[in-house]
Amino acid sequence: MSFRLPVSRRTALAAGALGVAGAVAAQTAHGAPAAAGTAALIGAAGQSDLHVMSFNIRYDRSGTLPGQADYWPERIPALKAVLELEKPTAVGIQEALFHQLAAVEDAFPAHYRMIGFGRDGGSAGEYSAIFYDARRLEVIAWDQFWLSDQPDLIGSATWGNTVTRIVTWGRFTDLSTGKELILVNTHFDHQSENARVLGAKAIIALMDSFNPKLPTILTGDFNAPAEASGAYDSLVGSGVFRDTWTIAGQQLTPAYGTFPNYKDPVAGGLRIDWILTTPGITVRKATINTFTLDGRYPSDHTPTQALVNLA
Query: Mean pLDDT across the stretch 242-259?
Result: 98
pLDDT value of position 38: 75
pTM: 0.89
pLDDT band of residue 39 (cuts 50, 70, 90) is: confident
Answer whether 118's CB lies under 8 Å from 166's CB: no
Query: Mean pLDDT across the stretch 209-224?
Result: 95
Query: Mean pLDDT across the stretch 157-165?
Result: 96
Burial 65-103 (b: 16+ CB within 10 A, else e): eeeebbebebbbbbbbbbbbbbbbbbbbbbbbbbebbbb
pLDDT value of position 63: 96
Q: Which domains does the chain have, with CATH numbers?
A: 13-309 (3.60.10.10)
Contacts of residue 180, Cβ cutoff 8 Å, sequence gap at least 6: 140, 171, 172, 173, 174, 214, 215
Residue 180 has pLDDT above 70, yes or no: yes
pLDDT value of position 34: 38
Contacts of residue 60, Cβ cutoff 8 Å, sequence gap at least 6: 72, 97, 99, 100
Residue spans of beta strands (DSSP E) within 163-204: 166-174, 180-187
Residue 68 has pLDDT above 50, yes or no: yes
Residue 147 has pLDDT above 80, yes or no: yes
Cα–Cα distance measured from residue 221 to residue 214, given in angstroms and rounded to the nearest whole number: 23
Answer whether 252's CB lies under 8 Å from 291's CB: no
pLDDT value of position 211: 83
pLDDT value of position 35: 38
Q: Determine what percent of the chain is predicted with pLDDT higher than 70.
A: 88
Residue 6 has pLDDT above 70, yes or no: no
pLDDT value of position 212: 87
Query: Mean pLDDT across the stretch 154-177?
Result: 97
Residue 164, sorted as left (phi over 0), alpha (psi -120 to 50) or beta, turns out to be beta
pLDDT value of position 2: 32
